Amino acid sequence: MAVIALMEREFVQKRKLLTGEEFLNGVGLGQILGAFSVNAAFFVGYRLFGAVGGILSASAFLLPSLALVTTLSNFYFRYHAMPALQGAVIGLGPVVIALIVDAAWSLGRPVLRSPAAVCIAGAALAAGALKTNAVWVILVAGTVGLLLPNGRRARPGAQAGPSSHMLAAVAIPATIGPLSLLGSTAMTFLKMGVVFFGGGFVLVPVLHQRLVTELGWLNPREFLDGVAISNLTPGPIAVLATFAGYHVAGIAGALVATAALLAPAMGLMWLMSGQYERYRGDPRAQRFLAGVNPAVTGLILSAAVLLSGSAIGSWRGWVLCGVSLLLLRKFRWHPVFVLAIGSVAGYAAVLP
């Protein structure tokens, strides 16, 4: 949301290239599929210079994060076995759990306002903890939302940060056959992107299930560190795909994974950007998301449950997690500074 505010100030207030209403419409449409900050950048570029402008705007917005994550990934996978760096990385685990819980709190506050929503969130939490495929959780919750009377979607402005996004993913078919490593990487992330409802921290349990539990491309420790690294960048947490892609197939894998994850959303934004008024306030979408939003909250919390075992190994780790959550939620510290505290604690061997 901070990035959205910067965009609004630059293109609406300062340069007056878009009206406030037009910009808000783009932000609203951007929450249907994909990382909505990337979608908003695409919308601005499309409205000003057409499809080429949209692609260039989204690419330029992502470029700093892609470069930073790729660089950090190279450093991490090359040197993470060094004792000094390994100690620093251990301290990131409890902070990552705090980040996930903070995201669940931010998303849950505006949507858990009815008994039905609380029940959906609780069921999703249980399903996620049992490692149920997130796509089924999302689809079932959305169907329940369609059946509920007067389902309403929380307005974009009522949700905080990247946790206002939502994501679900379908499993890649086991019959991927003779595809190359890059082809397999592209198919894996493309299938996630097809049902990438928004973004945010619900990406964490989905990628954990697929990349750690099913494919084994990352171990739990590497996955947690990838979440931490993605939080060090100015872009969306979807750059976690960049980290995973780099580990699988180097720089090419990082680019392919990121592009594949975001491609379906870019295609949809391309289609809708010229007709955005037609999609405003669609009641069916609102009812569907009225079921999906609570489920996302539950899935995010289930990620914290699943990851806490490998992230927090002692009572000191739980203390660090609690302090980190307090700094994030009460004092609104930026995640980079909280992650730095965790890294220093790990390096100083405070966490055994």
253 vs 128, higher pLDDT: 253
Whether residue 299 is contained in a domain is answered as: yes
State yes or no: pLDDT of 336 exceeds 70.
yes
The total of structural domains in the chain comes to 1
Distance, first Cα to last Cα, the chain = 37
Measured CA to CA in angstroms, residue 327 lies from 47, 309, 351 at distances of 39, 22, 19
Over residues 44-71, the pLDDT tens digits come to: 999 889 889 999 999 999 999 899 899 9
The reply to whether 285 falls in a domain is yes
From 113-117, 174-178, 202-206, the region with the lowest mean pLDDT: 174-178
- Residue 123 is part of which domain span? 2-81+113-212+230-307
- With respect to residue 331, please indicate whether it lies within any of the assigned structural domains: no
In a domain, 217, yes or no: no
Helix axis angle for 220-230 and 240-273, nearest 10°, is 50
- pLDDT tens column, 147-158: 887 644 444 333
**Tokens encoding 242:** 């960049």
Domain membership flag for residue 350:
no
Any idea which of 43-57, 195-209, 219-233 has the lowest mean pLDDT? 195-209
Cα separation, 161 vs 3, in Å, equals: 9
At 68-109, the pLDDT tens digits run 899 989 988 887 655 566 677 778 788 888 887 887 787 688
Close Cβ partners of 130 (under 8 Å, ≥ 6 residues apart):
none
In a domain, 224, yes or no: no
User: Is 325 within the bounds of a domain?
Assistant: no
Q: What per-residue confidence (pLDDT) applies to 327?
A: 93
Residue 199 placed within a domain: yes
Q: Which amino acid is at 302?
A: S
Q: What is the pLDDT of residue 227?
A: 85
Quote the mean pLDDT of the chain: 78
